[in-house]
Amino acid sequence: MTSAARSGGGGGLGRGLAALIPTRSSELSATEIPLSRIQRSRHQPRHRFDEQELASLAASIAEHGVLQPVLVSETLDGYELIAGERRVRAAERAGLRSVPAVVRQVADRERLELALVENIQRSDLNPLEEAEAYRELAQTFGLAQEEIARRVGRSRPTIANSLRLLTLPDSVRASLSDGLLSEGHARAIAGLESPNQQEQLAGVVVARGLSVRQTEELARRLKRGFAEPEVSGREIRADPDSERLEADLRSALGTKVSLQSARKGGRIVIEYYDSDELNRLCDRLLGAGA
């Protein structure tokens, strides 16, 4: 459910799991490992597993077996799972006693990065799980946002915007985790400074099924001092052409861009979150006009 564009630079883990597994054929060969000897990863970023998807995967594994090996690291007591927890869970449901696995020794930080990249590439994480993994890379392993972005194949603004979701009130984060709010909704709500306003706006969005564009407009109204968010009136009606243009601008600039119409003309609002991002935007805009 993450929709931000991925960065194309820098190498690192963003190239995918294949880039991190040794390429010599002897090391790539999978070994059958008993499920009883595989421990769950200490750094699994994913906390929720869809029961229906697991049941479907278990049925497929029962019929065809595990087609893609899991990735594990050897420990004193057996093996620790690095990537492939859903396959392991489904294999257990299917009644298998062992699964094919590639064994690789990696450091703790790389275990988290590998698990994070796999889940990102499969779109398996909800926005909060992804944000929490970024926070662990920053706080536990001391990585700057720029380094996190390079290693997981994202842009730095995407990492910054993701981390901002963790500042939302518990009730808003619960709605995001449950899928009642999208990441776009949550980012608009996170733009408000008051937790009370954030909860108020989230309640209106969920109750009335508002679009991300409407949510952004209501957030702007609250910032301007309106006591309560209103959802009627022409000013928050979605304009498909404007929404497409906003999406194109966001993709081109790698940050939030909004169009604000007036009776005559309007404004293009480009947001930035620190001086580094401002410099990056200036370089891109001035370079484009050169």
Residues known to be catalytic = 85
Edge to edge, the sheet with strand 70-74 lists: 31-34, 98-103, 70-74, 79-83, 38-39
Question: Can you tell me the distance from the alpha carbon of 92 to that of 49, in angstroms, rounded to the nearest whole number?
Answer: 14
Q: CA-to-CA distance for 72 and 82, rounded, in angstroms?
A: 5
CA distance 166 to 39: 28
Contact (Cβ atoms closer than 8 angstroms) between residue 33 and residue 80 = no
Copy the structure tokens of residue 40.
């769950």
Q: What residue type is assigned to position 231 of the chain?
A: V
User: d(Cα 88, Cα 94) in Å, to the nearest integer?
Assistant: 10
CB 108 within 8 A of CB 62: no
Round to the nearest angstrom and report the end-to-end CA distance of the chain.
37
Other CB atoms within a 10 A radius of the CB of residue 10 amount to 15
Answer yes or no: are the C-beta atoms of 117 and 13 closer than 8 Å. yes
DSSP 8-class letter at 237? S
